[in-house]
Amino acid sequence: MLAFQDYYPENVAHCYGCGRLNGHGHQIKTCWDGDETLTRFQPRPEHTAVPGFVYGGLLASLIDCHGTGTAAAAAYRAENRPMDSEPPLRFVTASLHVDYLKPTPLGPVLEIRGRIKEIKGRKVIVEAEVSAAGVVTARGEIVAVQMPDSFKA
């Protein structure tokens, strides 16, 4: 099964968090898991905050890109369209809020799960949780807006 990010056209596939064409980025892959979305990510040693724990900025980045990917997939679903249909629906972050609940251990694969809170016009609000070894360590809310045409040049 293709991930949402696999459908991104080349002109918008360079994002540090989710762009498949950014060899230095996270290259996250997000898919539907029932009514939720799911990304799995393995932090690397360079993602350390203090020995043994993940840097909070990485968690924010994962929530951010998971949220915009989820927004795109939700918009396609709401329009009953496949993700490779034209015109492409791509989203950018208008607002990102992250609550860090407890330190995230470095080592386990992280799971990021998203849920659609609201779809209204060009705006989608996504709630996301990061968990490590089954323990939720961070929660976030992303307000994603449809990407302006000037970004697609």
Q: Structure tokens of 138?
A: 């961070």
Q: Is there a catalytic annotation at residue 99?
A: no
Q: Are strands 123-132 and 36-41 parallel, antiparallel or unpaired?
A: unpaired
Kindly name the residue from 6, 35, 64, 84 that is annotated as catalytic: 64
What is the rounded (10 degree) CA torsion for 30, 32, 35, 41?
-40
Could you tell me which of 8, 1, 150, 149 has the C-alpha nearest to residue 71? 8
Question: Whole-angstrom Cα distance, residue 13 to residue 118?
Answer: 25
Calpha distance 78→61 (Å, rounded):
25
Nearest to 139, CA basis, from 109, 122, 114: 114
Catalytically annotated residues: 64
